[in-house]
């Protein structure tokens, strides 16, 4: 399983504060699929 690193987060276009919010909402670190979904939702809302 791939590890979520700061580089992966940046590649998905997610800012550190946005990732922190994802962690707070989920109560855990997202997997790559969930991170991609967060990226897609961010693009739609942003």
Residue 12, domain member (yes or no): yes
Predicted local distance difference test score (pLDDT) of residue 2? 73
Predicted local distance difference test score (pLDDT) of residue 10? 94
User: Nearest Cα to 4, choosing from 28, 25, 40?
Assistant: 28
What domain count does the chain have? 1
Residue 33, domain member (yes or no): yes
Predicted local distance difference test score (pLDDT) of residue 45? 66
Helix residue ranges, H only, the chain? 6-11, 16-26, 32-45
Predicted local distance difference test score (pLDDT) of residue 4? 92
* Full pLDDT tens readout for the chain, 46 residues: 578 999 999 999 999 999 999 999 999 999 999 998 887 776 666 5
16 is in which domain, residue-wise?
Answer: 6-45
Residue 18, domain member (yes or no): yes
Residue 1, domain member (yes or no): no
Predicted local distance difference test score (pLDDT) of residue 34? 93
Residue 21, domain member (yes or no): yes
Residue 13, domain member (yes or no): yes
């Amino acid at each position: 399983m791939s590890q979520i690193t700061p580089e992966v987060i940046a590649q998905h276009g997610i800012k550190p504060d946005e990732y922190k919010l994802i962690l707070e909402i989920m109560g855990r670190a997202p997997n790559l699929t969930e991170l991609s979904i967060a990226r897609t939702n961010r693009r739609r809302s942003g």
